[in-house]
Amino acid sequence: MTLRIGSNLADPFQTAAHARLSEELGFDFVGAGEHVYRDDRPGSTQIALSALAVAAGATTTVRLLTSVVIVPLHQPIMLAKEASIVDAASAGRLTLGVGIGGEFPGEWDALGVPVKQRGARMDESLTLMKRLWTESDVTHDGRFFSCEGLTFYPSPAQAGGPPLWVGGRSEPAMRRAVDKGSGWLPYLYRPSTYARSVETIGNLLADAGRTSDGFGWSLHLMAAIGDSREEALELATNGLRAGYNYDGDYQDLAERYCLLGTPDECVEQLKAYGDSGAEDILLSWLAPADRLTEQIEVTGREILPKLRNLQDA
């Protein structure tokens, strides 16, 4: 089992401080997601690459993961350029997690992007972005975007551009991860279902004539750590209710799909995900802003060392 653990940068007002703290405590990477806004849901939102640019300047070694950039909401030439600059400025530490979004219709209306076009826009954007990272004098005339004779300087620090990890739980998302990406980044997964999806993607890779060598097996895992399971469950339930639209029971959702409990309980849960095939797990804290530092610290001081001991045994 090889597990790398990341810390999500959830509060724009604490991005630099939490990135530095995560690096100091031994997290392998930091992550940031994005929304323009969450319709009627209160609270801060951010743009992933903007947050990671701040994190890059505040750190020196920790890797950087977007989880995820909602690609169809972006103009892909500008998105590719922004990713190139963050990768170059961070000496090649960026991994671009990408997704199609769609759960908050208001942000699509605000930007004038038809939500029903998001899959097609995503596919065209990823193809164009990879060309811009690897070719000179790029000309593209597509359904949604076009350019003529475009060359980027500087290029990304990583040859071929940042790794592309495709988010999503559906079979089309898995196929996109194989066809367009170099890794997979789902969320709302149990270890057992993660293992079955690893098998599915492995078969898709084989059908495409690819091996799993170098393929990123990652997971965006919402987390709440407490002194007791009951405290952690309350924290997770409240966090889900505050941030997400869901028609069912939020407590049931937390119990099924979130990392929650005491540090020792969380170590066992993370081990189960590692045994199912996950290698990079981003912990997305289900806590209010005034408790985020506490969640990062308890994970870094009580969970990460125990995980490392298990891996070294």
β-partners of residue 167 are 185
β-partners of residue 5 are 281
Q: How confident is the model at residue 36, as a pLDDT?
A: 93
pLDDT digits (tens, 9 = 90+) for 145-164: 999 999 999 999 999 999 99
Q: How confident is the model at residue 163, as a pLDDT?
A: 98
Q: How confident is the model at residue 14, as a pLDDT?
A: 97
Q: How confident is the model at residue 6, as a pLDDT?
A: 98
Q: How confident is the model at residue 1, as a pLDDT?
A: 66
Q: How confident is the model at residue 312, as a pLDDT?
A: 75
Task: Answer whether 306's CB lies under 8 Å from 224's CB.
Answer: no
pLDDT confidence bin for 111, thresholds 50/70/90: very high
- Listed in sequence order, the residues at least 6 apart from 21 whose beta carbon sits closer than 8 Å to its beta carbon are 293, 296, 297, 300
Considering only residues 95 and 241, tell me which one the structure prediction assigns the higher pLDDT. Answer: 95
Q: In degrees to the nearest 10, what's the CA dihedral of 164, 165, 170, 176?
A: 20
Which tokens hold the place of 260? 């929650």
Domains of the chain: 4-312 (3.20.20.30)
Q: How confident is the model at residue 122, as a pLDDT?
A: 96
